[in-house]
A = this chain, B = another copy of it.
Amino acid sequence: MTMRAERGRVWALAIHGGAGAGRQEDGAEALEREIRHALADVLDATAHLLSSGAAALEAVEDAVVRLEDSPLFNAGKGSVLNERGEFELDASIMDGRTLRAGAVAGLTTVKNPVRAARLVLERSPHVFLAGPGAEAFAAREGAELVEPAYFETERRRAAFEAAKRNAQRALPGDTGTVGAVALDVHGNLAAATSTGGLTSKAVGRVGDSAVIGAGTFASNASCAVSCTGHGETFIRATAARDVAALVEYSNLDVEAAARRVIHERVASLGGEGGLIAIDTRGRVAFAFNTALMLRGAVTHDSPRRVGIRIDDLR
């Protein structure tokens, strides 16, 4: 424990914008520059909150809202289209101090699904709401609503049309799900995840981003985790909880636990993707078995760093 830790000024933040195959597309280099800038901006803004004493739960919601609002990522604006060419958005959030959680699936008009998940956490007797019931709850509690057309971007429409041409039901390669994990100066952890899901997914498909223990988990007893990738595999692997369970029950450090879950557990099921995690001492872990994971981190004593390829940062 450093002197800073004893003075209670330890904090840490990590975010991701999805893991994927890095398909060749026109303007890939310009897109990559944009993504790096967007991740850096989100880290700077949310780090300011954390260093000013904000709660981890506030910080992860803030970071995910910013990522949802960017058209670059597959969450909120910029989400992918389902098999009907419509949007169905999933999100969840968890407070490591209390283990309170909120999750939503199949939203169609809530601008920021992670805010709806937070409203479930704060104001519902339930933890998980799906479909029109989730939508009605969020609207009643004051969540900002938009027309579905708000979510649409040219890039995702083109991917949808390509998927239809190729009769692909889902494109696992390029998900672009977003997430955030944070440790605050009060010693509390939190995690949040948000996604539009898989291109051309079935109507009603719920991914790991809406499932506590799969895409999102946080406990002050271990760590905070947000996942991205082939959601079906992450649900079967209970991936986020498994990272935390390995820390809590097997005494692995967060880096080793993250690597084991991605490179052994998820990989053994044929799954691709990645995750970010932060433990109670502010140690940040990234792990992914895809070509790319859009990611970044900043802590009380390490400068902001952003990466896309495996060797961009460790």
- Contacting B at CB under 8 A, from A28-43, are none
- Chief secondary structure at chain A's binding surface: mixed
Contact check, A137 vs B106: say whether CB atoms are below 8 A apart.
Answer: no
Is A309 an interface residue when CB atoms closer than 8 A count as contact? no
Using CB atoms, name the residue of chain B closest to A125: B169
Are B134 and A204 touching (Cβ within 8 A)?
yes
CB < 8 Å neighbour of A211 from B125, B169, B211: B211
B124 and A237 within 8 A (CB): no
**Which one of A45-53, A60-68, A240-248, A276-284 is at the interface?**
A240-248
Q: Contact: B106 with A130, CB < 8 Å?
A: yes
Q: Is the CB of B236 within 8 A of A126?
A: no
Cβ distance A241 to chain B, nearest Cβ, rounded Å? 4
A131 within 8 A of B: yes
When chains A and B are docked, how far (Å) is the Cα of A231 from the Cα of B132?
20
Given A128-B205, A213-B241, A246-B249; A236-B133 close (CB under 8 Å): no
Assuming the A-B contacts A212-B238, A238-B241, are A205 and B129 also in contact, with contact meaning beta carbons closer than 8 angstroms in the complex? yes
Given contacts A213-B213, A213-B214, A245-B242, A235 and B105 within 8 Å (CB-CB): no
Name which of A235, A241, A242 has the most chain B CB atoms within 10 A of its CB.
Answer: A235
Q: Which residues of B contact A100 (CB under 8 A)?
A: 236
Does A269 sit at the interface, judged by CB under 8 A? Answer: yes
- The size bracket of the interface on A is 35 or more
Kindly list chain B residues whose C-beta atoms are within 8 Å of the C-beta of A204. Answer: 129-137
Say whether B203 contacts A136, CB under 8 Å. Answer: yes
Q: Is A118 an interface residue (CB 8 A)?
A: no
Q: How far apart sit A29 and B87, CA to CA, in the bound complex (Å)?
A: 51
A83 to chain B, nearest CB (A): 9
Q: Which parts of A85-139 form the interface with B (CB within 8 Å)?
A: 94, 99-101, 103, 105-106, 124-137
Tell me, yes or no, whether A201 is within 8 Å of chain B by CB. yes
Determine how close the nearest CB of chain B comes to the CB of A166; give it in whole angstroms: 15
Chain B nearest CB, measured from A163 CB (Å): 13
Among A124, A125, A133, A207, which residue has the most Cβ atoms of chain B within 10 A?
Answer: A133
Q: Which one of B212, B217, B238 lies within 8 Å of A217 (CB-CB)?
A: B238
6 residue pairs, one from A and one from B, having the closest CB atoms:
A133-B204, A133-B203, A213-B238, A131-B131, A249-B249, A245-B245
